[in-house]
Structure 1
Amino acid sequence: MPKPYYSLFAVFIIVSCHAQTYSTTSTACAPSKCGTISISYPFWKKSSTNVVEFCGYPEFGLECLDDHAIIRFPTDTYRVSEINYDDHSITLLDIDILEQPCPRARHNVSLQNLPFSLSSLDLNLSFYFNCSSYPSSVEHIVCLQHDKNQSYVFVAGEEVKNGYGWVRECEEHVVVTVKEEEIDVSNLISDFGDAMKKGFVVDWRRGEDCAVCEESGGYCLFDPSTKQSSCLCRDGRTVAKSCRKGTL
C-alpha cells in the first residue's frame, strides 16, 4: 500500500477508536429521567433486562414505575421524591401510607448495612398503637381509634417524661421519621399525617474504593455477577481503582 494511503488509514483507525471509547464512557454513565426525577451518577436506572455492568453504586438502582422513581431496601420500599446531588441527599416517601387519609405506619426506618444515614433535617416521631390502658390527660389520635383502644404520637423520647408504661400497655410501637420543617411539634395530632406523606431525608456516603475512583475523575462501575467494582475513566479506560496515571 502506498505510504500516503497507509497514513490516512492509520489516522482513521485512531480517531475511530477514540470516538468509540468516548461514546462508551458517556453511554455507560448517561443520566436518565423518571417522571420529574433526574437519575444521574451515583444513581442508575434499573431496566427489565439483565444488566451486565452499571455505572453507580450497587444499592442506588432506581426502578421507574408509573413515572415514579422507586428504591428498594432489604426490608422496605420507598418512592424517591427528590435527589439533591449537591448535598448528597434524597427524600423518601413511605409507599405504604401515601394513599391513607389517616396514615398508619407499619415499620421503623431501617438503614442498617446501607450507605445511607438519617439527615439532620429529620425528626423522629414515636407512635404507640392500640393501647388498652392510657392516661386521660394525653391527647389520642382520633382517626386511629379502634373500639376502646387508643393510639398516640410523641416526639421520640418525650413520651418517657410522664413515666407511663406505653410499651407494656400498647400493641405496637413504631418510630417514624419526618422532615422537621414539615411539622409543628405543638400540634402533632393534626400535623403528623401531612408530614409523613412529605417523607424524610437521608444522606448518602461513598464506599472507600468509589471515593478513590471519583477523586481521580472517574466513575464507579459495578459488575453484579462478580460483585466487584472498577473505575471507568473519562478517557474510556477501565481500571481497578484510580484514573491517575501510574496507578491501577
Structure 2
Amino acid sequence: MSHLLHSLSLSLLLLLFPFFFFISIAAQSNDTNFPGCFAYKCANTTISYPFWRLDGEPATQYCGYEGFGINCDNYGGTPEIPIAYLGRDSYYAPSISYESKRIVLVDYDVSPVVPPVDCPRVRHDIDLGNLPFNFWGQNVNLSFHFNCTGVPSFAHEIPCLSTPTNKSCVHSLTFEPENFDWTQYSCDEEVLTTVLDVFNVTRPMEKEFRRALRQGFELKWGRTEDCEKCEVSGGRCGYNRNTREDMCFCSGGKTTTGHCNGTFTKD
C-alpha cells in the first residue's frame, strides 16, 4: 500500500512539475512576448523594464535603459540604484510605478537601512547625470551647512551634528535671503538636496528634516534617445557590453542591433 502511495505521489509530482516550472518562469518574465527581458522581485519592489537587475543579468548584456540597473543584494536585499554608477551616489528605491513612470528614491546615506538612523547626515548633492529623470511632485530644496561657527536666523541648528564650537544647520532654500554671505560663518561644507514636501509646520525643522529625508524624492522618467527606434518599433532596448552595441529585444525572443522588423517610422 505504501509503495502504491509513493508511486502515486511521484506521478503527481511529475505531472505538476511543468506547471510549477511555468509559474516560476512567468514570475521572472516581464512579458511572455519578451522572454529576453526579465522582471524580478526585490523586497517589495518589482524590478522590470526599463529597469533591470544589475547583479542578476548576464555580464555581457542587459534589457533596459543604461544607468537603470538596480542592485538587489545590498543591505539585506533592498533595491539600490547607483545613479550614474558613481559608487558614492546610491539610492534606495522603495517604490516604482510603471504605469505613471515614477520612482521614489531615498539617499542611502540617510535611509532607514543605514545606521545611524537617529541622526542622518547628507553627504552629497543629487546628481542625476544624463539620465532621463525629472523631479516630480511637491518638492522642497534643503540646504545643509556643516561645522560652522554659528547659525543664521533663517536656518535651524541640528543638535546631533553640532558641538559647542562647531554648528551644523538646515534650512529650506525658499527662506534664504538673496545673495546671503555664508563666508561669515566659516562652514566646512554645504550640501544641497531635494525631498518631498512632507513637512508639518507645527513641528520644528530640526526634527522634521529627518522624516523628510527618509521619505526621499520622486522622479519621473522618459524615453532615452538611444531607445527611440527600438521602442517605437515595438521592442525593448538594451545593450551588449562585448560588442558595445545597442540591442533591441523584440516580440517572440528575437534580438537585433537596431529595431524590430524594420517598422520604425520617424514622426
Aligned: 1:27 with 2:35: yes
Using the alignment, how far apart are the partners of 1:246 and 1:120 within structure 2? 36
1:126·1:174 contact (CA, 8 Å) conserved in 2?
yes
Mapping of residues 229-248 of structure 1, within 5 Å: 229-245=246-262
Aligned: 1:115 with 2:132: yes
Aligned: 1:86 with 2:99: yes
User: Structure 2: which 5+ runs fail to align?
Assistant: 1-30
Using the alignment, how far apart are the partners of 2:98 and 2:57 within structure 1? 27
TM-score by length of 2: 0.74
> How far off its partner does 1:110 sit?
0.9
Query: Equivalent pairs: percent with the same residue?
Result: 35
CA RMSD of aligned residues (A): 2.6
Residues 25 and 221 of structure 1: CA distance in aligned 2, closer, same or farther (over 3 Å)? farther
Residues 129 and 239 of structure 1: CA distance in aligned 2, closer, same or farther (over 3 Å)? same
Structure 2 residue aligned with 1:72: 82
In the alignment, which of 180, 197, 205 is matched to residue 214 of structure 2?
197
CA deviations over 1:34-77 (Å, ceiling 9, x no partner):
11111111111123675222211121111112221111122411
Mapping of residues 210-229 of structure 1, within 5 Å: 210-229=227-246
Aligned: 1:60 with 2:73: no
Using the alignment, how far apart are the partners of 1:68 and 1:147 within structure 2? 37
In the alignment, which of 150, 154, 159 is matched to residue 133 of structure 1?
150
Matched to 1:106, the amino acid is R
Q: Which moved more, 1:74-83 or 1:148-157?
A: 148-157
In the alignment, which of 141, 147, 150 is matched to residue 124 of structure 1?
141
Residues 122 and 41 of structure 1: CA distance in aligned 2, closer, same or farther (over 3 Å)? same
Using the alignment, how far apart are the partners of 2:144 and 2:155 within structure 1? 13
CA deviations over 1:65-113 (Å, ceiling 9, x no partner):
2221111122411111111112212111111123331211111111122
Using the alignment, how far apart are the partners of 2:263 and 2:98 within structure 1? 30
1:70·1:79 contact (CA, 8 Å) conserved in 2?
yes
CA deviations over 1:170-197 (Å, ceiling 9, x no partner):
22111121111x2236742221001101
> How far off its partner does 1:207 sit?
1.6
Q: Which moved more, 1:99-108 or 1:48-57?
A: 48-57
Residues 167 and 41 of structure 1: CA distance in aligned 2, closer, same or farther (over 3 Å)? farther
Using the alignment, how far apart are the partners of 1:60 and 1:175 within structure 2? 23
> How far off its partner does 1:120 sit?
3.8
Using the alignment, how far apart are the partners of 1:49 and 1:82 within structure 2? 21
Q: Which moved more, 1:88-97 or 1:131-140?
A: 131-140
Residues 121 and 244 of structure 1: CA distance in aligned 2, closer, same or farther (over 3 Å)? farther
- Which SS does the other structure have where 1:27 is aligned? coil
Using the alignment, how far apart are the partners of 1:88 and 1:219 within structure 2? 15
1:128·1:167 contact (CA, 8 Å) conserved in 2?
no
Q: How many residues were matched structurally?
A: 224
Using the alignment, how far apart are the partners of 2:264 and 2:104 within structure 1? 37
